Amino acid sequence: MARIGVFICHCGENIASTVDCGKVAEISSKIPGVVFSTDYKYMCSDPGQTLIKDAIKKYKLTGVVVGACSPRMHEPTFRKVVASEGINPFFCEMANIREHCSWVHPKGEETTQKAADTIRILVEKVRNNEPLYPIKVPVTKRALVIGGGIAGIQASLDIANAGNEVILIEKEPSIGGHMAQLSETFPTLDCSQCILTPRMVEVAQHPNITLMSYSEVESLEGFIGNFKATIRKKARFINEELCNGCGDCTLKCPIKKIPDEFNAEMGKRPAIYVPFPQAVPNKPVIDKDNCTHFKNGKCQFCKTNCSAGAIDFDQQDQLITVDVGAIVVATGFTIKGTDFFPEYGYGKYKDVVTGLQFERLLSSSGPTLGEVRRPSDGKVPKKVVFIACAGSRDPAKGIEYCSKICCMYTAKHAMLYKHKVPDGEADIFYMDIRAGGKNYEEFVRRAVEEDDVNYIRGRVSKVYEKNGKLIVRGVDTLLNSTPVEIEADMVVLATASVAHSDAESLAQKLHISYDSYNFFSEAHPKLRPVETNTAGITLAGACQAPKDIPESVAQASAAASKTIALFSQDLLTREPIIAVSNKSTCVGCFLCQSVCPYLAIEREEIKDRNGNIIKTVASINSGLCQGCGTCVAFCRSKSIDLQGYTNNQVFSEVSALFERSEEYV
Amino acid sequence: MSEFEPKIVAFVCNWCTYAGADLAGTSRIKYAQNVRIVRFPCTGRIDFMLLLKAFEEGADGIIVSGCHPADCHYTSGNYHARRRWMVFKDLLDFIGIDSRRIVFSWVSAAEGAKWAHLVNDTVSEIRNLGPMKEYKNLENVSSNKIGELIND
Ligand code: FES
């Protein structure tokens, strides 16, 4: 006979302000099988947990229902409490009366009733629970890091330095990411490449790191500790073993006019190219779409000039499968182009550029070798207008969030511009200045006070060209919305940071969640900001939300430490939420086998004592089963069940949906 | 007479819709109280006989919701659920239950507001349809009568 205890949490005021917790406890006490029920201010706190433990002892409870927040938040907490008193943890269930009830409904009887109903449903579940024991699975101590920007680099180094193998894949020909494109970094103005490139070299030389550039995830199978990733190593048409990185080929290539991605299209590159001089690996790649050889077979210049004989026009994409135990996703972000802004000329005006393009113009490795020259005629601009929040915080553009880094880099851009062109003028249109970071506010003040940058609070409605000048029309909201018109030589848009166009499809391959902007979702916004909802996969950097360099690096180290903690165990315990088959009732139709996404259902032959096969039945490989339960719903003879969500459990939950008052009198 | 308050049951998957409903909570989006949620690991787990059971228990309307196509945490559970629903609809027609009483939807973990709308819309739809009587009627039909009905 079940002896169930019900514990209702007030969550401070969070639940108690709309739900009458005392009443819920009272109603619950009348449910058959409930021998104790109470309410308390903070059930998850130490005294709250003690209260549960004491009640378990005193009332000899066999099961517990905690009415509190979402089980996605505190289920592990309360299961541990129950387990510490010697009850199998799976006899503890949480009824979500906060997220699903008190927070979404007004104070009143109906809300209290809903909470009570929710408790009753879970009491029925507990009553039908069975003891379950964690499953032990081996861990492959090798990590896959996806993305070779600063976040991926940091995570790889941390994991590798702890003595684990790392496979770092990067879809571009070189690692480095956006950080490699930056001129100087805020708030210290140290040169980005100078701090980044040593790390890149460290990655390349690290004995524990296998670097696969120009590679992408093709597919992923498996689960925490035991993933199988298939990686597409794209053909770069260079035999990397033979190539010595001399770069002769890139000089000989007759095609020279391709917009250079690394320079944010501010410069040109040949069809065979190394993205930038410090690239790692320092091996070129042939851009097939623009190469004359691939177009009409007429050119072989690079091949004939390669003394190492490394050019291989016949190279194919390779699919490589690797076993890994954990994955760090660090795929970064991209920014909106100027063509996203009809009001600023749809990208038509050459001298309206993005922040990243301006960054390249400032960089001493950029197309102008660090001289600020405008793209249209190469002249030094004497007046530059910077527009912050271009696209960000703008519901009309569909981007409601703050891109976070623009306030700071715009201040930096204006400052660097003034250092390079001391007689030039820099105006910044802004909405608010968000400089929350160590030494950030001071940095912005410096731009204003020492470098004479002119901040105008207001938005720009239009940019248009007139007599070779860009007319920037906006308002100054600090001066009563007075219209402002500025004649500029150049306009820099701090365009919104957005997720990569392929972020959604990557999330689907990895089975991780993503938000409505296609940024990847963390498991909990505050307490699990690094993990995803898929065990074994963590996030680092701006693929989760816009972030600056220190934040990306910090999160990367956090993701690495999660990974290292996972690798510190030889065996991993996994929730026993898996399917089991009943071999005596199974009729062997194997419908289950055809719907199982994990190929976890095997055929088992049942033999008599003479070794003759009596029948073949379904048997579940507990290592492969992930517990979706699709087979259970399909089984015609009800011979498969899902532990933790058994037919009995869900059936009795449904039976308890609505109160039948007569039963309780 | 007070307005009819429909009883709604939601069968949801843990990874998307349950989390979406959690998000509605954390964002404090208000919606109708009529819904009771039953959590499943995946919509693929939902045995549709449970839907009939819910009607039998007195539900006036049912929501089945999980991850969007291609987003299922287990790759394909939601596709199976969708197919099951297509077939189940015919069965509902056959036994005389208005298939508008079951709303099949996708709500992701990021769609708190969509969840609130889904519940509100379902409540008003079911309010228009009135209380679920079909099942009760069916209960009164003896098995002989069912035989006759089928032969008709
Ligand atoms: S996990 Fe949500 S539908 Fe499968």
* B63, B10 Cβ separation under 8 angstroms: yes
In ligand 1, which atom is closest to the CA atom of B76? 4
Nearest CA in chain B to A533: B15
Distance of CA A69 to the CA centre of its chain: 25
Establish if B113 belongs to a structural domain: yes
| Cβ–Cβ < 8 Å for A619, A639 | no
Q: Which two tokens stand for residue B102?
A: 């079951």
Reported confidence tier of residue B3, pLDDT bands at 50, 70, 90: confident
Q: B151 falls in which pLDDT band (50, 70, 90)?
A: low
Return the closest-CA partner of residue A583 out of A565, A554, A607.
A607
Residue of B nearest to A122 (CA): B38
Structural contact between residues A486 and A463, judged by C-beta atoms closer than 8 angstroms? no
CA of A655 vs chain B CAs: smallest distance (Å): 6
A261-293 tens-digit pLDDT: 999 999 999 999 999 999 999 999 999 999 999
Question: How do beta strands A184-185 and A190-191 pair?
Answer: antiparallel
* Residue A511 backbone class (left: φ over 0; alpha: ψ -120 to 50; beta: rest): left
- B41/A521 CB distance under 8 A: no
Beta A226-233 vs A215-223: how paired, if at all?
antiparallel
Residues in contact with A296: Cβ distance below 8 Å, sequence separation at least 6, in sequence order:
none
Report pLDDT for A1.
Answer: 77
In this predicted structure, what is the pLDDT of residue A661? 44
User: Is the model's pLDDT at A5 over the cut of 80?
Assistant: yes
Residue B128 at interface with chain A, using a CB cutoff of 8 Å: no
Cβ-proximal residues to A395 (8 Å cutoff; 6+ apart), any chain: none
Q: What is the pLDDT of residue A346?
A: 85
Ligand 1 centroid–CA A653 distance in Å is 20
Under 8 Å between Cβ of A43 and A52: yes
pLDDT at A215 exceeding the cut of 90: yes
The average pLDDT across B125-133 equals: 92
- What gap in Å lies between CA A400 and CA A392, rounded to an integer? 6
Residues of chain B with C-beta less than 8 angstroms from the C-beta of A534:
73
Residue B123 domain flag: yes
A657: nearest CB among B36, B109, B110: B36
CA diameter of chain B? 54
Q: What is the mean pLDDT of residues B107-115?
A: 94
CA atoms of A98 and A114, how far apart (whole Å): 11
Is the dihedral angle over the CA atoms B54, B59, B60, B64 positive or is it negative? negative
Q: Which residue of A has its CA nearest to B82?
A: A630
Question: pLDDT for A394-444, tens place per residue?
Answer: 999 999 999 999 999 999 999 999 999 999 999 999 999 999 999 999 999
CA dihedral A590, A596, A600, A602 (to 10 degrees): 10
CA distance, residue B61 to nearest chain A CA (Å):
13
- Neighbouring CB atoms inside 10 A of A88's CB total 16
**For chain A, what percent of residues have pLDDT higher than 70?**
99
B chain contacts of residue A629, beta-carbon cutoff 8 Å: 40-42, 44-45, 77
Task: Output the average pLDDT for chain A.
Answer: 94
In a domain, B1, yes or no: no
Which SS3 state, helix, strand or coil, does residue A466 take? Answer: strand
| φ/ψ (deg, to 5) at A431 | -95, -55
Asked if A642's CB is within 8 angstroms of B47's CB, the reply is no
Cα separation, A335 vs A265, whole angstroms: 13
What average pLDDT does this structure show over B1-18?
A: 89
DSSP string of A218-273, one letter each residue: EEEEEETTEEEEEEEE---SB-TTT-----HHHHH-S---EE-TTTTTSSEE-SEE
CB contacts of B109 in chain A (<8 Å) are: 513, 521, 533
Q: Which of B24, B36, B44 lies nearest to residue A630, judging by beta carbons? A: B44
The three-class DSSP label of residue A627 is coil
User: A388 phi and psi, to 5 degrees?
Assistant: -80, 165
The per-residue pLDDT for A209 is: 97
Tokens of A131: 């003891």
Model pLDDT, residue B1: 45
| Closest Cα in chain A, distance from residue B122 (Å) | 16
Any idea what the Cα angle at residue A94 is, between residues A92 and A95, rounded to 5°?
Answer: 140
- Looking at the structure of chain B, the number of domains it has is 1
The owner of tokens 């081996």 is A138
3-state DSSP assignment of residue A278:
coil
Is B21 in Cβ contact with A99 (below 8 Å)? yes
Q: What angle do CA A378, A384, A389 make, to 5 degrees?
A: 125
What would the pLDDT profile of B40-98 be if each residue is shown by its tens digit?
999 999 999 999 999 988 999 999 999 998 889 888 899 999 999 999 999 888 888 89
Predicted confidence band of residue B142 (pLDDT cuts 50, 70, 90): low
When pLDDT is averaged across residues A466-489 and rounded to a whole number, the result is 94
pLDDT at A324 over 80: yes
Instruction: Give the nearest chain B residue to A636 (CA atoms).
Output: B47
Phi, psi of A610 (to 5 degrees): -90, 5
- Sole residue written with tokens 């819904």: B35
pLDDT in tens, A79-118: 999 999 999 999 999 999 999 999 999 999 999 999 999 9
Question: Per the CB < 8 Å rule, is B22 touching A96?
Answer: yes
Q: Which DSSP string do the residues of A185-215 spell out, in sequence order?
A: ETTTTEEHHHHHHHHHHHHHH-TTEEEE-SE
pLDDT at B143: 56
Name the residue among A71, A113, A628 with its Cβ closest to that of B41.
A628
Q: What is the mean pLDDT of residues B135-143?
A: 61
User: Which of A513, A634, A644 minimises the CB distance to B109?
Assistant: A513
Interface check for B129 against chain A (CB to CB < 8 A): the answer is no
d(CA A236, CA A215): 10
Question: Is the Cβ of B20 closer than 8 Å to some Cβ of chain A?
Answer: no
- Measured between alpha carbons, how far is A470 from A467 in angstroms, rounded to an integer? 8
B108 in a structural domain:
yes
Sequence-separated (6 or more) residues with CB below 8 Å from residue A207:
none
Cβ(A540)–Cβ(A333) below 8 Å: no
A510 Cα: distance to centroid of ligand 1 (angstroms): 14
Closest chain A CA to residue B54: A654
How close is the Cα of B99 to the center of ligand 1, in Å? 22
The proportion of chain B whose per-residue pLDDT surpasses 90, expressed as a percent, equals 69
Two structure tokens written together for A37? 């029920």
> Residue range A307-320: average pLDDT?
95
Rounded to the nearest 10 degrees, how much is the dihedral formed by the CA atoms of A141, A145, A150, A153? 40
Mutate to test the pocket of ligand 1, among B15, B85, B108 (most ligand atoms within 8 A of CB): B15
Q: pLDDT digits over A523-560, tens only?
A: 888 888 999 988 899 999 999 999 999 999 999 999 99
Domain-embedded: residue B3: no
How far is residue A328's CA from residue A16's CA, in Å, rounded to a whole number? 40
Count of CB atoms situated within 10 Å of the CB of A273: 25
Indicate the pLDDT class of residue B149, thresholds 50, 70 and 90.
Answer: low
Q: Does a structural domain hold residue B17?
A: yes
Average pLDDT over residues B2-18: 92
Ligand 1 centre to CA of A44 (Å) is 29
Residues making up chain A, counted from first to last: 665
Rounded to an integer, what distance in angstroms lies between the CA atom of residue A130 and that of residue A385? Answer: 68
> Are B80 and A642 a contacting pair at CB < 8 A?
no
Q: Which CATH number fits domain A4-132: 1.10.3470, 1.10.260, 3.40.50, 1.10.357?
A: 3.40.50
* Interval A587-624: pLDDT, tens: 999 999 999 988 889 999 999 999 999 999 999 988 78
Mean pLDDT for A224-240 is: 95
- In sequence order, what E strands does A33-85 have? 34-40, 63-68
Its CATH class, for the domain covering A579-643, is alpha beta
**Percentage of chain A modeled with pLDDT above 90:** 90
Interface test with B, best of A100, A105, A577 (most B CBs within 10 A): A100
DSSP bridge pairs for A498: A334
Model pLDDT, residue A55: 96
What's residue A526's pLDDT?
Answer: 84
Distance CA B33, CA B48 (A): 24
Rounded CA separation A156/A208 (Å): 9
Show Cβ contacts of residue A94 under 8 Å, excluding neighbours closer than 6 positions.
A65, A66, A67, A68, A69, A70, A71, A74, A75, A78, A122
Cβ atoms within 10 Å of A231's Cβ, excluding its own: 21
Q: What is the CA A385 to chain-centroid distance, rounded?
A: 34
User: CATH no. for residue B96?
Assistant: 3.40.50
User: Cβ of A533 and B36 within 8 Å?
Assistant: no
Which residue type occupies B2? S
SS3 A449: helix
Angle A554-A223-A522 (CA atoms, 0-180°, nearest 5)?
A: 35
Pocket test residue of B40, B42, B65 for ligand 1, highest count of atoms within 8 A of CB? B42
Report the residue among B11, B13, B64 best suited for mutation to probe ligand 1: largest number of ligand atoms under 8 A from its CB: B13
pLDDT value at residue A121: 95
CATH numeric code, A334-498: 3.50.50.60
The C-alpha of A106 sits at a distance from chain B's nearest C-alpha, in angstroms, of 8
Q: What is the pLDDT of residue B146?
A: 57
Count Cα atoms within 13 angstroms, Cβ side, for A20.
Answer: 9
- From the CA of A571, how far away is ligand 1's center (Å)? 28
* Angle between helix A109-127 and helix A21-29 axes, rounded to 10 deg: 40
- B115 within a domain of the structure (yes/no): yes
Q: Which residue range(s) make up the domain with B140?
A: 8-151
Q: Where are the beta strands (DSSP E) in chain B?
A: 8-13, 35-40, 61-66, 102-106
Q: Is the pLDDT of residue A664 over 50?
A: no
Report helix, strand or coil for A586: coil
The rounded distance, in Å, linking the Cα atoms of A252 and A254 is 6
**B74 vs A111, A628, A655: nearest CB:** A628
Q: What is the mean pLDDT of residues A339-355?
A: 93
| Segments making up each domain of chain A, as ranges | 4-132, 334-498, 579-643
CB within 8 Å: B44 and A106: no
Three-state secondary structure call for residue A542: helix
Confidence of residue A663 (pLDDT cuts 50, 70, 90): very low
Q: Give the type of residue at A574.
A: R
Ligand 1 centroid distance, CA of B65 (Å)? 9
A293: amino acid identity, one letter: H
Evaluated on CA atoms A249, A252, A258, A260, the torsion sign reads positive
Q: Name all residues whose Cβ lies below 6 A of ligand 1.
A: B 13, 15-16, 42-44, 66-67, 72-74, 77-78
CA of B40 from ligand 1 middle (Å) equals 9
Helices then strands, counting H and E runs in chain B, come out as 6, 4
* Nearest by CB: B53 against A598, A644, A651: A651
In a domain, B73, yes or no: yes
Decide if A650 and B54 are in contact by the 8 Å CB cutoff: no
In chain B the first and final C-alpha atoms are separated, in Å, by 39
Contacts of A645 in chain B (CB under 8 A): 40-41, 45
Consecutive H or E run containing A336: none
